[in-house]
Amino acid sequence: MDVNAHVRDPREHVNEEPRNDLGDLMNGFFGMTTFMAVVFFGMVIIKFILSE
C-alpha cells in the first residue's frame, strides 16, 4: 500500500499572522460595552421625551 502523505512539522507557522489576543478581547469588550451604554441612554432619553 503506497500512501503519499505530506507530513509537515506543525511547529512551522508559515501562514500565521501576528495577533494580539488580549488587545482584541479588550477592544471587543469595551466596544460592546460602549455600544450598549449608548443604546441604553438613547432609550432612556426617548422614554422621557415620549412620556411628556
Residue 3 lies in a domain: no
CA separation for the pair 8, 3 (Å, rounded): 15
pTM: 0.61
Residue 37 lies in a domain: yes
6-45 confidence digits (pLDDT tens): 667 667 666 667 778 899 999 999 999 999 999 999 999 9
Residue 8 lies in a domain: no
pLDDT at residue 37 in the model: 98
Residue 51 lies in a domain: yes
Q: Count CA within 13 A, CB hemisphere, residue 40.
A: 6
Dihedral angle sign, alpha carbons of residues 21, 26, 32, 35:
negative
Residue 34 lies in a domain: yes
Residue 2 lies in a domain: no
Structural domain containing residue 51: 20-52
Residue 11 lies in a domain: no
For residue 47, give the 3-state DSSP assignment: helix
Residue 46 lies in a domain: yes
Count how many domains the chain has: 1
In terms of pLDDT, which residue wins out, 28 or 3?
28
